Amino acid sequence: MANTILAILEQREGKLKKSSFEVTSTAAKLGKDLGLDVQTVVVGNEIDGLNEISKYGVSKISHLKNADLENYSPNAYTNGIADLAKEVSAEYLIFSNTALGKDLSPRVAVKLNAGCLVDCINLEAKDGSVVATRPIYAGKALMDVKPKSEVKVITLRTNVFPAEESQSPGEANIQVKNIDSPDLSTKVVEFKKSEGKLDVAEADIIVSGGRGLKAPENFKLVEDLADALGAAVGASRAAVDAGWRPHREQVGQTGKTVTPSLYIACGISGAIQHLAGMSSSKYIVAINKDKDAPIFGVADYGIAGDVFEVLPALTEEIKKLKS
């Protein structure tokens, strides 16, 4: 009988990603609400900081180890996690909805004949089961889903579920399971980041532009301010749909959910889909000529003015302060 929640941790170059603590904390809360055992699993070679996981309410950690598993290998990771899930009688497997999680979770679901719910933004224990909330119709609506399969695979939208430390953490119980001959039909040999481009999902400061910039070449104003602040460049869905910016920069319910210390929205009206992706930012500055734009409803600071006048002036002042 399935009686375990298994949280899947992610590591990059031997270090746990922030999303690992989010899935651990969420799994710990669900386990408490449902009365289920909770464990975590990570695949890789040498991994730093595994003891930190126990601070988030889960002490049982399985480390599937092999030198060839330092980087993501679809078949090897799938087989290792699926085998462990069967071994511990996992009823729920919780992944983060990262690039790796999006690729790995459906593979594991197929292996386990499990239902798969992706990009969930809320999980609630109800009547002995989990009800998941996820966006549908390109973010225009939300749907509550109660999976009926015996085993359930769930992915969590990043930066939505807080990683909260447990008030009574236990001591980490790390079990190393050596994978002697992993299936390496494909193998990642290295990662390369885009030169000079900060990822909006990880940036501490983001400057985003929207339809109010009127043309793609006017994003130069956003880029200049971002350069002055050492920030990442983001964009609204309207700007991306128009072909002005690449999808990797899109912020919103159908793009990336971000939680920077500072988010500057330039010429963005503030559609609810965009607000869903950035409203949890620590400080929000909005620049829009329409004083009644919805973006001002969530902004900490608002400038009702023309972005073509405000952005150059703001960039110049930032440069003066930093010189």
Q: What is the β-pairing status of strands 205-209 and 262-266?
A: parallel
pLDDT at 239 over 70: yes
**E strands within the chain?**
4-8, 11-12, 15-16, 37-44, 60-65, 90-96, 115-120, 122-126, 129-136, 141-145, 152-156, 173-178, 205-209, 232-235, 262-266, 283-287, 301-303
Contact in structure between 214 and 268 (CB atoms under 8 Å): no
Q: Is 104 exposed, middle or buried (0-12, 13-18, 19+ CB in 10 A)?
A: buried
- Give the list of residues 6+ apart from residue 196 with CB closer than 8 angstroms, or none: none
Domain residue ranges in the chain: 4-178, 205-322
What is the value of pTM for the model shown? 0.76
Question: Quick one: which H or E segment has residue 148?
Answer: none
> Is 99 exposed, middle or buried (CB count within 10 Å of its CB: 0-12, 13-18, 19+)?
exposed
Helix H or strand E encompassing 33:
helix 18-34
Beta-sheet pairing, 141-145 with 129-136: antiparallel
**DSSP calls for 49-64:** -GGGGGGGT--EEEEE
At residue 110, the pLDDT reads 97
Residues 6+ apart with CB under 8 A from 76: 43, 66, 68, 69, 179, 182, 183, 184
Q: Rounded to whole angstroms, how far apart are CA atoms 179 and 170?
A: 27
Banded pLDDT at 1 (limits 50, 70, 90): low
The secondary structure of residue 255, as a DSSP letter, is S
**Can you read off the two tokens belonging to residue 299?**
């902004």
What is the topology classification, in CATH, of domain 205-322? Rossmann fold (3.40.50)
> CATH topology of 4-178 equal to that of 205-322?
yes
- With cut-offs at 50, 70 and 90, classify the pLDDT of residue 157: confident
Which SS3 state, helix, strand or coil, does residue 300 take?
coil
pLDDT at 193 over 70: no
The architecture of the domain spanning 4-178 is 3-Layer(aba) Sandwich (3.40)
Q: Tell me what pLDDT residue 56 has.
A: 93
For 79-127, the pLDDT digits (tens) are 999 999 999 999 999 999 888 999 999 999 999 999 999 989 899 999 8
Least confident of 46-60, 61-75, 181-195: 181-195
